[in-house]
């Protein structure tokens, strides 16, 4: 509906599927991009094998994801999971190994934890100063938004989570 409203409906196609068994033929895409996805998928080897499978030779995988930090377990609830049972974080070195085992060659890796931390601090200050905006994450996340945001900030500040932007090639 939103694509149609802004005149892009003819240019966009939406499909729903299982990320560990993608509904596409092999070598279908030049680029596969995920943002804040893998932390909710327990079978990461299957996830990255499928991404590799659907990429054309020389294709690019772009990932922006939350990873397990070095300093202890995640405090819940967080925006991607209310309990540990639905959170499947891996550490950065484990992600690199999973990608390489799937066949990828990591071309670029950027730790974006500091930027995420600054963004959450800024968001918390804006909410403290101006109150909740009419639209935002809180609308999607519901009544748990406040503790989720507080835990997300604390998890970032305490090194319980880290964020990474990764580019890998097939």
Name the CATH superfamily, with its identifier, for domain 26-169. Vaccinia Virus protein VP39 (3.40.50.150)
What pLDDT is recorded for position 57?
Answer: 98
CA distance linking residue 16 with residue 69, whole number of Å: 31
What pLDDT is recorded for position 50?
Answer: 98
What pLDDT is recorded for position 123?
Answer: 78
Rounded to whole angstroms, the maximal C-alpha distance in the chain is 51
Q: What is the reported pTM?
A: 0.89
Note the residue count of the chain: 170
CA distance linking residue 55 with residue 169, whole number of Å: 9
Blockwise average pLDDT, block size 10, the chain, 170 residues = 91 91 97 95 98 98 97 95 96 98 98 91 80 78 85 93 98
What pLDDT is recorded for position 149?
Answer: 85
What pLDDT is recorded for position 125?
Answer: 78
């Amino acid at each position: 509906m939103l694509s149609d409203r802004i005149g892009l409906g003819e240019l966009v196609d939406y499909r729903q599927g299982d990320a560990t068994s993608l509904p596409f033929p092999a070598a279908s895409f030049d680029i596969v991009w995920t943002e804040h996805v893998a932390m909710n998928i327990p079978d990461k080897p299957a996830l990255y094998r499928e991404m590799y499978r659907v990429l054309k030779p020389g294709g690019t995988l772009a990932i922006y994801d939350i990873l397990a930090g070095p300093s202890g377990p995640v405090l819940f609830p967080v925006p991607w999971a209310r309990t540990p049972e639905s959170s499947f974080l891996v550490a950065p070195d484990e992600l690199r190994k999973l990608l390489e085992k799937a066949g990828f060659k990591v071309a670029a890796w950027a730790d974006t934890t500091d930027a995420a931390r600054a963004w959450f601090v800024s968001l918390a200050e804006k909410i403290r100063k101006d109150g909740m905006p009419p639209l935002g994450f809180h609308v999607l996340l519901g009544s748990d938004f406040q503790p989720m945001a507080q835990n997300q900030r604390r998890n970032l500040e305490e090194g319980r989570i880290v964020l990474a932007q990764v580019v890998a090639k097939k």
